[in-house]
Structure 1
Amino acid sequence: MNTSNGKATRERHVAVFAFPFSSHPPLLLTLVRRLATALPNVVFSFFNTKKSNQTLFSELSCDNILPYDVWDGIPDDYVLVGKPQEDINIFLGVAEEELRRGVKLAEEDIGMKVSCLVVDAFFWFSADMADEMNISWVSFWTAGACSLSAHFYTDLIREKSAQLKGSTGPDDEISDLIPGFSVARLCDLPGGVVFGNLESPFSTMLHKMGRNLGRATAVPINSFQGLDPDITKNLSSKFKLFLNIGPFNLLSKEKSQLKSSDEFSCISWLENQKPRSVAYISFGTVCKLPPHEVLALAEALEHTKTPFLWSINNDSKKHFPKGFLEKISDNGMGKVVPWAPQVQVLEHFAIGVFVTHCGWNSVLESIGAGVPMICRPVFGDQQINTWMVERVWRIGVRIEGGSFTSHGTCCALQQVLSNESSKTLKERIETFKDVAQKAVELNGSSNQNFKTLVDVVTGVSL
């Protein structure tokens, strides 16, 4: 545990609970760093697992952010067997007890009672903790308003889908299924709403989260006003404070995106490509395509002669067509790397399309760079994000049939890179790019909403 220096200068103590998986911790830390900069006399105790904290704070030094380790629930002699969400479910079994214990230790360590909880929205039980402590509860949603709405209205959606059972299929468009949506499809809802194992610890957590969010003092999200006006209007009527405070990728360029970190020379390769000609391909650090889809995507790129930059783990390269890597190396058509500085890549003039799993961070980064998308969603909020990208915002296309085939991928590449429709996609995403950039300007809506959040954290009467 850490000890703080200069305790006499501390005016308030804010406890932060990170959900230690995927992109959740770095996004929450980005928010806390902004708060810590705006509030130098407030100390933030940041609770996270040891493994995640070591990654986050290896190069970060901030006087008023103090990392505290909580147990991940996995005994030293336990071996994970690879069940779906196994590590998450184990952590959820100990999370509340660990966080309660951690808060008590931090209060003793820092010498101040916690005056506000800033938490990943997944930690629904922290609403009860805030009530017991008689303090503000800030529940941060790392993704978009579309997925948040699906979880908030889970009970309503289940009720409506039960009434429609037998008359409506999962692929059918349903009017007024979710407030704020003109139409939606059951198949595009995040797992745990109507499909999947609804009794799993993860699904139960999401359901309880949706039921408890209305208790939050504020619900900030990593998005921007103007992207989802109808959903924002609806959720603003349900929450005490619903605050679009992003997109984070436009507010702060993280160290990982600096030019000096381009260890695989992606940018220098892009410099030799024609404007808006290159397909950038990445499915994040968690999603992994089935072997036959890796093969089909590679075949489509080769068949259409589309220049490409593909970020893919080394293990998946064995699924490429025979001689594929040698051929693209010889003709310079493509570049395959294990990692790419994504924000920097997307902002390059050579990129014409982003082939993506449609995770929320990737969607925001594509919008921020004005690059249309080809979407192949895998799990979580990616299906509903894809629905928004293709059908609501109309800034990209879903891969035909939901998975990569050689023919379907060829059609998608042509549609986004060379058809007349590509012009419309590019014009629309440029419009959203402008709205996003205006939101993060000094007097923009996201910065104004952030000031409101600062008032919540400091206890200023609103």
Structure 2
Amino acid sequence: MEKQAQTRIRLVLVPCPYQGHINPMLQLATILHSRGFSISIVHTQFHAPSSENHPDFEFISLPDSLSDDLISSGNVSAILVAVNANFHEPLTDCLVQMMQSEKERGKVACIIYDELMWGSEAVANSLGLSSIMLRTNTVSAQLGRNLVLQLMRDGLVPLQDSLLQEPVPDHYPLRYKDLPVSHFKPAQNFEEIVTKISDVRSSSAVIWNTMFCLEDSLLEQVRQRCSVPNFAVGPMHKFAPCLSSSLLAEDFSCMSWLDKKADSSVLYVSLGSIACISENELSEMAWGLLNSKVPFLWVVRPGLVAACSKWEAPLPRGFKEAVGDMGCIVEWAPQKEVLAHKAVGGFWSHCGWNSVVESISAGVPFICRPSFGDQRVTARYVTHVWKVGLHLEDELKGDEVVRVVRRLMTEQEGTEIRKTALELRKAVENSTIKGGSSFNDLENLFDMIRSF
């Protein structure tokens, strides 16, 4: 999309302070900037995004008043509730200052906020500003959250063991065990979060980082029920230049290792930026990958194993020596570049939505090992609706790792899944070209913003 003349219309974007939410918000900011809008990123001090790769944006850090104990607890639900409560006054003061200096800074047209920063909508409404909600997950995951909320109100959460394997009526392919039930305490926090993000309130529109070719019927349901426009503009990273917004340092040395491997021969393994596993699970993964005899690039980030901050410590004794050049182990990888590399033929993923979007866009199939929340919903759609992956469920054992890795990477079943993944990549590509569904929704979004 060609860059148009600067309009001096300023957009204020408020990201949620987690990697999987920062990435799509900065991608959206890059797309909007390419169309002439001035961009201000207003963010928390906690997990503050880097401004290094975005010199044209204004970054404004506001106090979030999170205690060290709350941050170290890792209780995402409690952190989000606290952030929204604490951020109201600083965000209000910031926006008032921006509105008072519009002659120098440009008119503030609207606030675009991550759905998990729901307090931003109330601030915008109190100041007479338009707001737009960004949903960084899937429509299927959002509908799953709404169902969990209803189950909670009916007193059915926690779910009974006898129900877990049963299919959820009218929600194929989900089983009750796949629903995004939160295990963070207290349960009231999760209920508050889902209640807040389910209601667009005074917002003028909703933006989704998804595609019509993936969720056509679900998007139609949402559009029929919702009183404001819903724009499906994914995959946003395909509309924006490939600039890193990673909170962790990316190790590009793995790219030269990939250059030496045969096409579609390498399994990329990454469980995202938040999920934790036990030391025993890490050991079963390690020996399973080794015994599969399939080359692998494995991200073992600091904190992947609970209570371990050093990535080398928990790896089994003698593992790295036994692997040799068959494997490459890094703390963090440049994921979009890795998935685009011709040597990568599969992705063992936690099924966070950013990772799934990037892999589908690259035509790379999955081994799904979801950790929590929306990831379980997404994994079922990957394996049972879009049919571009295998699900590695239940207790993690080395023998099962070997079996599933070989199924995807060396057997005929994997060849067929890879063919489906390439077909889906083509459908996604078609959505981003002129006349495609995502392209058209972006154009409509631009027109709406200019009308404010």
Shorter-chain TM-score category? 0.7 to 0.9
Per-residue deviation, 1:15: 2.7
Question: Number of paired residues?
Answer: 434
The CA distance in 2 between the partners of 1:22 and 1:288, in whole Å, is: 15
% identical aligned pairs: 24
Is residue 2:229 matched to residue 1:232?
A: no
- Going from structure 1 to structure 2, the CA distance change for 1:202 and 1:132 (only over 3 Å counts) comes to same
Deviates more, 1:267-276 or 1:109-118: 109-118
Is residue 2:353 matched to residue 1:377?
A: no
**Cα deviation 1:390-410 (Å, max 9, x = unaligned):** 122111111131x42112211
Is residue 2:179 matched to residue 1:221?
A: no
Per-residue deviation, 1:120: 0.8
Per-residue deviation, 1:200: 4.2
Question: Equivalent of 1:33, from 30, 33, 37?
Answer: 30
Is residue 2:442 matched to residue 1:450?
A: yes
Question: 2:231 — aligned with what?
Answer: 243
Question: Equivalent of 1:272, from 260, 278, 281?
Answer: 260
The CA distance in 2 between the partners of 1:435 and 1:275, in whole Å, is: 22
The CA distance in 1 between the partners of 2:160 and 2:376, in whole Å, is: 23
The CA distance in 2 between the partners of 1:152 and 1:214, in whole Å, is: 16
Question: 1:191 — aligned with what?
Answer: 181
Question: Equivalent of 1:45, from 40, 46, 69?
Answer: 40
RMSD: 2.9
SS of the counterpart of 1:358? coil
1:400–1:408 Cα contact (<8 Å) kept:
no
Counterpart code for 2:60: Y
1:45–1:66 Cα contact (<8 Å) kept:
yes
2:88–2:123 Cα contact (<8 Å) kept:
no
Greater relative contact order (CA < 8 Å, ≥ 6 in sequence) = 2
Per-residue deviation, 1:114: 3.6
Per-residue deviation, 1:294: 1.0
2:168–2:174 Cα contact (<8 Å) kept:
yes
Per-residue deviation, 1:447: 1.4
Per-residue deviation, 1:215: 4.7
Deviates more, 1:354-363 or 1:10-19: 10-19
Question: 1:321 — aligned with what?
Answer: 316
Is residue 2:90 matched to residue 1:98?
A: yes
Per-residue deviation, 1:306: 1.4
TM-score calculated relative to the size of structure 2: 0.87
Question: Equivalent of 1:348, from 317, 338, 341?
Answer: 341
2:264–2:345 Cα contact (<8 Å) kept:
yes
Per-residue deviation, 1:254: 2.1
TM-score calculated relative to the size of structure 1: 0.85
Per-residue deviation, 1:159: 6.2
5 Å-filtered alignment, 1:32-181, equals 32-38=29-35, 40=36, 42-50=37-45, 52-53=47-48, 55-62=49-56, 65-74=57-66, 80-82=71-73, 84-85=75-76, 87-111=79-103, 114-156=108-150, 158=152, 162=156, 169-176=163-170, 181=171
The CA distance in 1 between the partners of 2:96 and 2:416, in whole Å, is: 55
Is residue 2:11 matched to residue 1:24?
A: no
The CA distance in 2 between the partners of 1:82 and 1:163, in whole Å, is: 23
- Going from structure 1 to structure 2, the CA distance change for 1:97 and 1:253 (only over 3 Å counts) comes to same
Per-residue deviation, 1:282: 0.9
The CA distance in 1 between the partners of 2:417 and 2:27, in whole Å, is: 30
Is residue 2:380 matched to residue 1:387?
A: yes
The CA distance in 2 between the partners of 1:118 and 1:411, in whole Å, is: 45
The CA distance in 1 between the partners of 2:71 and 2:359, in whole Å, is: 35
SS of the counterpart of 1:29? helix
Structure 1 unaligned residues grouped into runs of 5+: 1-8
Per-residue deviation, 1:311: 1.5
